[in-house]
Amino acid sequence: MVIGIIDESCTGKSTLADKLKPLLGAEVYTGKDYLRLAKNEAIAKKLFQKKLKDAVSGPHIIYVISEKEYLTLVPGGALKVLVTADLDAIKERFAQRMRGNLIIADFHDDFCTIRRDMVGEQLLDRDAKGYWRIMP
């Protein structure tokens, strides 16, 4: 079974994946984690797509998705779960990840998009534990 857990950052996708993983004995991928499958990005993507397609009727895979572009990787027959949270919960979770530094949210409600763009522009980096500024 393939389960795609989808929505913006800080909505609880990873928490849900962490709870499902031991129950299903599933392998969890997030965003571009599939790059670890090969040194070449195009090859890694093809390998991941095949792995997901095979998993529809085979071993369980949970794919945590924050970026719409990765939805195309989820094969037909997969279970897609949309996770939502109210703005206050998202702000609180984001503040925890930023270690209390939530200045962006003071200026704009769509801070998730701004933060994602900052990661894309390599101003911030992230992992499962949080975000941090990349020093030039």
- Which tens digit of pLDDT belongs to each residue from 66-104? 888 888 999 999 999 998 887 777 777 776 766 655 566
pLDDT(128) > 80: no
Average pLDDT over residues 45-54: 95
Comparison of pLDDT for 127 and 107, the residue scoring more: 127
pLDDT(131) > 80: no
- Distances in Å between the Cα of 20 and the Cα atoms of 23, 24, 61, 86, 94 are 5, 6, 10, 22, 22
Tell me the pLDDT band of 12, cut-offs 50, 70 and 90.
Answer: confident
- Which tens digit of pLDDT belongs to each residue from 16-48? 999 999 999 999 998 888 988 998 999 999 999
Tell me which residue of 127, 4, 128 sits closest to 63, measured CA to CA.
4
Task: Give the pLDDT confidence score for residue 97 in this predicted structure.
Answer: 67
